[in-house]
Each structure stands twice: as structure tokens, then as C-alpha cells.
Chains A and B, each alone.
Chain A
Amino acid sequence: MWFSWSPVAWCCLVSSPEAARLSAEDISPSSNGPKAEPVLLDDDPDDPDDLFAGLTSCESIELSKCYQEQDIYSYTVCVCVCVYITFLSILINFYVCVCMYMCIYIYIYIYIYIYAFIYLYVFFHIYLFVCFLFIYTLFYIIYLFIKIDHSFLCICAHMSILIVINFFVFLGDGMNAYMVYKVLTKTSLSIFSRDEVCVKRRFSDFLGLHSKLASKYMHMGYIVPPAPEKSIVGMTKVKVGKEDLSSVEFVEKRRSALERYLLRTVKHPALLKDPDVLQFLESSELPRAVSTQALSGAGILRMVNKAADAVNKMTIKMNESDAWFEEKQQQFDNLDVQLRKLHASVESLVCHRRELSVNTASFAKSAAMLGNSEDHTALSRALSQLAEVEEKIDQLHQDQACADFYLISELLGDYVRLITAVKGVFDQRMKTWAKCQDAQVMLQRKREAEAKLQHANKPDKLQQAKDEIREWEGKVQQGERDFEQISKNIRREVGRFEKDRVKDFRVVIIKYLESLVHTQQQLIKYWEAFLPEAKAIA
């Protein structure tokens, strides 16, 4: 029923010898967000805490049911088969022995027969027992392989964490229906309570996770990966129950987007240890994230905040002391523009390629009809062959269009949103600076007030003023420290982002080129098969 060709399921395979170092003590028990110390990462470019330093990514095609259910199923099958074979063997064993006994009976005296029978019986049992022991172990090994391998994932030696999302079911009915996704996490990290967890989540849960992480980490300068966008149109079509190609594609798009979102989130070393993320991945029940609904109170508050932010951005004029930040900001602005242009071109490519495949199919039909009405037999056959070749080519174009879309277009969309998140982080830094400046201004004012009071000679008010000054001095210091911290964080985050970006793009482009090569090779095959037919026209 569902569109079963998802050429890329992003799974993140990590080789990390340091994984074993992480332990549960690092996670602070409070869910207000981690304290500054444990989660703070060094400026060191080859960060030892960076789990994903030697990232190699490996793609695979993934569509399977949830592990737990499949496990039980295959296990029971194996056990039943073993038991069945045991009984069968005992039965056969018995009959064999009886037969042998009957045979020997004819030739030798009875008392010897009994001994012979007993010896034979025991001997056979031992032999068969050994045989079946061997068979049992064989079955167990097969069972283990099925357990590991049945979803055709590629396994690397140091696999640390792997996340896969699948559809489950559409619960509810009518307009209140919602899609439930199964999130499967396989990991060898010790911060997770189990090796394998499978939980059910709704789309709004993902959005809730993102909003929580954003509120906790954005102001510290961490780049929080953005969640996939809501799409009322797409979802409504699916809810209405249309099972045409576009709604199937929509669901597939959303599923892979959610997968990529989760993988990016856990790639971030600080976010991985965050208790909200752990709760999201592990706990079977999650409080419904109502605040993500567009018309809820929180939603409206968010919109108001966004508007306020936009106004602030225009009014804050930051004098940039660090040239690095200015340069980076410029760079990201440029990159944003270019990525959007590239995204638009790729989308038009996908559209045109789909058109090409449709036109090729109609031409194939028309060529077939032409071949039918042609009266010269060899030419008629050649034309029919041409029609077949064109049909195969049309299918090829369709597949290529899918590859275009899922590999490149979606990745570009993700990066356009990511760059928006990065720009948001820069804005946060500006806000922190503004706060720091405000605090300084306040301090100045308080000092002036104190000076005035000293001249006016009011001792009690003076004490209050001195207290306020101390308070504001503390705030200024805190503000400066925050600003330093956020600048440091941003530098590190941007470095990590750039590295990841280059890696991602390179991998995707290589993959895409390989798919193009494959298409061209198929084309060569088809045309070479057609050539002798064309030459055979007499």
C-alpha cells in the first residue's frame, strides 16, 4: 500500500572508541536542562567528546516491521520447528530400531537379540542426539542472524547509535486522524537504558521536542536542527483517504524528513545527552505537546515573539568587535541565497524529468501503434522494439527523478532550514550582547544615582543604591560571561556545522553521481540490445 521505494534512509553509523566513556553520571537529574559544566564541550577541534568525529555515513534501504514483534515471531517459529523435528526423530528412531530388530531376529538366538537390540537402541539414540544437538545450534545461529540481519542494514564494527522510523498506523478518524510513527533506536551507548527501543510518536511530539530543545539551547549558541514543517494541505489529503501517488509521496517525504531530523539531533553531542531527547527516544508514553498547535496559546505567543524579534533585529546595531563573526554572517547570508537558488533549480529538474518520463511513455505507445500499422515486417518489428526500449527508458527516467528528489532536493531543503537556524543563533548572540549593553547602561545609571545620593546625603537610600550597584555589577559580569560563552559556543558549532555540511554534500553528490552512472549504464544496455534489431531491417 505504501510507497515502498525510499532510496535513502539516513542512518548514522558512528565509529567512536570513546563511546564507552559516557556514563549515566554525566546526565544531571534535573530536567531543566543540563548544568553548564558537564555538557560544556571544549574548543578543541578534534573534540574528544564529539562522538561523531570520525563520522562515516552509510545509507541503506529500510522497510521492516518493529523488531520486537518480529523477534518473537521468528523465535517461536524456530522453537516449534526444533520440537517438531525432535518428535519426528524419536519416532523414526523407534521404527528403525524395530525394523532392525525384526531383521536380526530371523538369524540369531533370542537372548542375544535383546542385548543387541539394547545396544543398537542406545547407540542410535546417542548418535541421533548428537545430530540434533548440531541441528539445534544451527537453528539458533540462524535465528540470531535473522534477528540482526532481517532488515538488511549494513553493520559497522563500532556502531553506536542507529535510528529508524517506520509507519505504524493511522489512528482516529476523519479530520482528527493522526499518523503514528514507530521510532526504533538501536544503540550501544550506555546513556540509554536499553539496547533497542521502539516507541510510538506523533508528528506533534517531534515538534514539541524541537521547541523544548530550542528554548533550552538556542540562547547558549547551539545550533538546534529544525524540525520538518507542518503541512496542512498534504496532511488533509492523506486524512481524506486518497491513496493516490501524491499522498503516498507526501507520507514518505515526511517519514524520511523525520528520520533525518532525529539523526541530526542525536549527532549533536550536547543534544544527545539531553534528558528530553532521551525521554523522547525511550519512554513509551510522552505527554502530548499541545503547545505546538498553531492556534494554541503557546502558538500565538510564539508568533508574537517572532514579530518582536524581527523588530529588535532591525533596531539593535551591534558594533562587531570580532571580524570572524561579521565574515561568517556574510558568508551564511550568501550561502542562504545560493542554496535557495540551487533548491529551486533542483525542484524544476525533478518536475521536468517527471514530464520527460510521461512523454517518453506516450511516445512509446505511439511508436508501438506505428509499428503495428507498418506493413514491412522487419521495420514493423524494429518499431515495436523501439517502443519497448522507450518504455523501459521511461521507467528509468522515473526512477532517476525519484533519486533526484530524495537525494538532493530534500537535502537542500533541510540545509536551507538549517541555515535559518544558524542565522537564528547569530541573532541570539546579538540579543545577548544587547542585554549586556543594557545591563551596563543600568549600572551606569545606578552609579550616577549613587553619586547624586552621596551629595544629597541620605544614608539609608545610599545603602540601597550601593546594593543595587553591586547587583547590577554582578549582572554586567554575568552578561559579559554569557556573551563570551555564546561566542565560544557559536565558533565551535559553526566549525562543526561546516565540517558536517561539506561531508554531507560530498556524500550525497557522490551517491547522486553513482545513480546517474547507473542510469546511463542501463541506457547503454537497452540501446545496445536494440541495435541488432535496427540493423536487421532488410
Chain B
Amino acid sequence: MTGPYSCCSCIVFVHSVSVDLNNDASLVIDIPDALCERDKVKFTVHTKTTLSSFQKPEYSVQRQHEDFIWLHDTIVETEEYAGLIIPPAPPKPDFEGPREKMHKLGEGESSMTKEEYAKMKQELEAEYLAVFKKTVQVHEVFLQRLSSHPMFRKDRNFQIFLEYDQDLTVRRKNAKEMFGGFFKNMVKSADEVLISGVKEVDEFFEQEKNFLLDYSSKIKDATAKAEKMTRSHKNVADDYNHISGALNNIAADNNTAFKKHLEKCAEVFEKLRVSISKVEDRMASDQELKLTELLRYYTRDIQAAKDLLYRRARALADYENSNKALDKARLKGKDVAQAEENQKQCLQKFDKLSESGKKELTSFKARRVVAFRKNLIEMTELEIKHAKNSVSLLQGSIEVLKSN
């Protein structure tokens, strides 16, 4: 099955894993619509702004996932933002699950009855929609975090991203650059290990480093387990779908003696299908949306915080190196001024990083706590709502069956 899928815009909710990021009316960004063509997803980024740095008060541009990645990479590479936690890049849209199902549907088309086929198609569309919602949300949150941060919103590249009418046609990374990127990552992790040996002066940062290292591994683990759990939950919901379908079939063709009795049963089973399988499915997907997404997002965010610490530690190491160089220069009596200049710069950089780093990390913790709270409360409330729903439907069905 090929061809473009267009998902309608009205259903895209904002379940942000961060706090309300659209508080400030001076720069409001959202993604009202998105188009999916085979592999690529085209997002419509809509901006409303009262800032003078923008030429128009309202923009609406089409962007692809690669454009978001480009934006993220340029911000990372900007020296100025070294002391800030850079919002993590949104993950690539993953339509693997629905695509597999679509494949299976296409293969089994001949062997299934019309109703089964229609039902499976419905299921498939629902799953597709869920993945779609998720990916739109993640991209939206990325932009909103950038817009709500006082420093990032003034970034020139960000403005271009929001304003530029045509396709950004970001040059895809060619092989050399990809390899270079990979190599850089390796160097970075080796560096991290080396730098973690550097003695930390500030107590606050020492604590934060230990906490973040520990927490990041734990949250990665929790995310993986949560994903597995949500997947099994979805399997269970799927099974209920099949079972109720089969029960329907059995109730449908039976001899006339019990026909009336069994017609009522067929009604009940249809209701059961709604109550059991749909509710289980909704429970599973809500759990995924709230809990698993939350954990996934904060895994990435914690990685960004770790990156900040790394940059600061790098600056500290540079500073210490420059100190050593200054001492050496003083000993030798050459290039003293240069070494002094170097050392002053390093110290400045380090101080700036420390100061902004401290602010960022404190606000990060506050943000994290609030996000966890919001999502946990929402997830719990949704679970309770679904369970209550299911109970009332089940009890209704039991009444009907008993009264027969």
C-alpha cells in the first residue's frame, strides 16, 4: 500500500512532557498539521510572534525532521551556548510498527473476512495515528523549549528556521561528515572518562555530577523496562480483540433453537469487545504516552545536562592546562603575556560556564520534578477513568447475560 497519508489536524493534542512552554505570548510556536509521505514526515510549523526581530507577526512553514536535527546541531556547535542545557533533538519518526502491520494486512487480505479486514484496518489506522501524535508532540516540545528560553529564542538560526519560506534543503551529512561525527562522539566519551578524574572544586557541581551519572543509567533502565511492559500490554489488548471476534463468530452461526438467545449474546459480545479490548488498548497507549514517553524524554534531557557538565569540565581542564602553560612560560620567560591572556580567557569562560550551568541545572531539576508530577498525576487519573469505564461496561454485560 503506497501513497500519502494525511492525518487531520484537529486531533493533535499537546501532552507536553515539559511545563507549559507557551506561557509567553511574545513567541508562540505550534505544529498544527503534519503530512506523512512514505518515509518522510513534513511538519507545518506555525509561529505567532510580537517580537520586533521577526519581519512578520505570523509564519507558517514546512519543515522536515532533518531540518530539526540541523537546528539542534548548529545550536550545539555554537560556543556561546556552551553553558546552557541544550534541549535534546527529537528522535526520528519511527513508523516501523504500523508498517509491519500494514504488510501483514496486505498479505492476509485474501484469507480474511470483510469484517475482520475492516477491523484490522481500523486498528492499523489507530496505531498509525498514535505514533504520529507522539512524533508531532516531540518535535513541538523541542521548538517550544527553544522559544521559551531567553537565550535560544534570540538565536539567528532559530529565526531562520521559523521564518524561511522555502525548503531549508539542509545538506544531508555525507559519509565523511557522518564518520567524523561518529569519531567525535568516541573522542568525547573517552574525554569524559579522562575528565571525570579532574578534581572538582565546587561542591554543587560535584554533587550534580554524581547524581546525574547515577540517575542517567537508572532512567535508561527504567525506560527500557517501561517500553517492554507497554508492549506486552498492547499484545494483551490485541488478543482480546481476536478473542471477541472469534466469540462473535461462534455466537453468529448457531441453530435456530437458540437464535434469539444468541442474538442477544452477540450484542453483548460486541459490547464486550469495546469494553475489554478497546479499554485495554487505551490503557496501554495512555500508559505509554505518559509514563514511557516521560522517561524517554528525560533520558535524553539528562544526557543534555551531562553534556553541559562535560563542557564545563572541559573548560576547567583547559583552565588548568593554561595555568600550567603560564607557569611554564613564566619559567622560560617567553610568551608570558600570551599565556596570561590565554589563562584569563579560560578563567572567564570557566566562570561563565559555572554560573550559567548552576542556574540551568537548578531550573532543570525544578522542571523535571514538575513534569514528573504532572505526568504521573495524569497517567493515574486516566488509568482510573479507564478502569471505571471498563467496570461499568463489564457489569452491564454481566447483567444482560444473567438476565437471559
Contacts and interface: CB of A to CB of B under 8 A. Distances in A.
Closest 10 CB pairs of A and B: A356-B232, A349-B239, A363-B225, A342-B246, A537-B373, A534-B376, A359-B229, A352-B235, A366-B222, A345-B242
Interface in B366-391: 369, 372-373, 376-377, 380-381, 383-384, 387-388, 390-391
B239 A498 contact: no
Of B246, B254, B401, most A-chain CB atoms within 10 Å? B246
A386 interface: yes
A520 B391 contact: yes
A369 B397 CA distance: 41
Contact of A513 (B214, B376, B394): B394
Nearest to A340: B246
Interface in B56-86: none
B77 to A, nearest CB: 31
B347 interface: no
Given A376-B365, A516-B276, A527-B380, A366 B401 contact: no
Interface of A: 327-328, 331, 334-335, 338-339, 341-342, 345-346, 348-349, 352-353, 355-356, 359-360, 362-363, 365-367, 369-370, 373-376, 378-379, 382-383, 386, 498, 502, 506, 509-510, 513-514, 516-517, 520-521, 523-524, 527-528, 530-531, 534-535, 537-538
Contacts of A530: 380
B258 A524 contact: no
B236 interface: yes
Interface in B195-238: 211, 214-215, 218-219, 221-222, 225-226, 228-229, 231-233, 235-236
Contacts of A386: 376
Main secondary structure on chain B at its contact with chain A? helix
Contacts of A521: 387, 391
Contact of A349 (B243, B372, B404): B243
Contacts of B107: none
Of B214, B376, B397, most A-chain CB atoms within 10 Å? B376
B377 A363 contact: no
Given A359-B232, A382-B376, A531-B377, A342 B398 contact: no
Contacts of A537: 369, 372-373, 376
B187 interface: no
Given A362-B229, A382-B373, 14 more contacts: A352-B232, A356-B235, A359-B229, A363-B226, A366-B221, A367-B222, A369-B222, A370-B222, A373-B214, A383-B372, A516-B276, A527-B383, A527-B384, A534-B380
A370 B394 contact: no
B246 A517 contact: no
A370 B219 contact: yes
28 contacts: A331-B254, A341-B249, A342-B243, A345-B242, A345-B243, A345-B246, A355-B232, A356-B229, A356-B232, A376-B365, A376-B369, A379-B372, A382-B373, A383-B372, A502-B261, A510-B398, A513-B401, A516-B394, A517-B394, A521-B391, A524-B387, A524-B391, A527-B387, A531-B384, A534-B373, A537-B372, A537-B373, A538-B369
B249 A338 contact: yes
B43 interface: no
Interface residues of B, number: 55
A157 B338 CA distance: 106
B255 interface: yes
Contacts of A349: 236, 239-240, 243
B215 A373 contact: yes
Of A346, A356, A365, A386, most B-chain CB atoms within 10 Å? A356
B113 to A, nearest CB: 12
A370 B398 contact: no
Nearest to B251: A505
A405 B381 CA distance: 30
Contacts of A353: 236
B384 A345 contact: no
A505 to B, nearest CB: 9
Contacts of B373: 379, 382, 534-535, 537
